Structure 1
Amino acid sequence: MIRATIRYWAAAKEAAGTAEEPCTGPTLADALARVRATHADNDRLLRVLDRSSFIVDEEPVGTRPHDGVELAQGSVVEVLPPFAGG
């Protein structure tokens, strides 16, 4: 099983109530599905995740399908909610 770390920033951190937590899965889609299942009762975090951008091991995911973004042992997934301003 691939073990990674998910790091929450800004509104995601506030909604999750933590800066980071462990996650598992061979792809970003799998890891996010597990995070969503773990936090199924946290509607605020689920909404933030739906609007967020992701960086995996310092590389932006962009518009790539999440099931095509593979995680390696020890990967770091950054959750970046939309930021206001410009």
Structure 2
Amino acid sequence: MIVLTAVTDVKFIARKGWFVAVSSDCVVHVYHYEKEMRKVTSFRALGRADVWCTLAVHPTQPYVLSGCATEIKLWDLNCIQTFEEHSAAIMALKFNPE
């Protein structure tokens, strides 16, 4: 059986030739898009599924933020830190460029 999940956010990382997509099953997929598209990696941002997830890409550093349900994680393709202080759903994220 094929299970379809909704893509909830996509961000481009032009300096790497990548795009990062997150879906409602809380899986983050990283693809290289130059010449031909190929998957770089995938990782689970949250242990449960069927929630809204969003992403932010740092403008100069190799970091991605994922926000799924009430949990924010900082990634460099591995989880560096988890922030769990939120009591409501996270709908958007952004890095402060300063």
Q: Same fold (TM over 0.5)?
A: no
Report which of the two has the higher share of strand.
2
TM-score normalised per structure 2: 0.30
Give the structure, 1 or 2, with the largest relative contact order (CA under 8 Å, sep 6 or more).
Answer: 1
Greater helix proportion: 1
TM-score (norm 1): 0.32
- Asked which structure has the greater CA Rg, the reply is 2
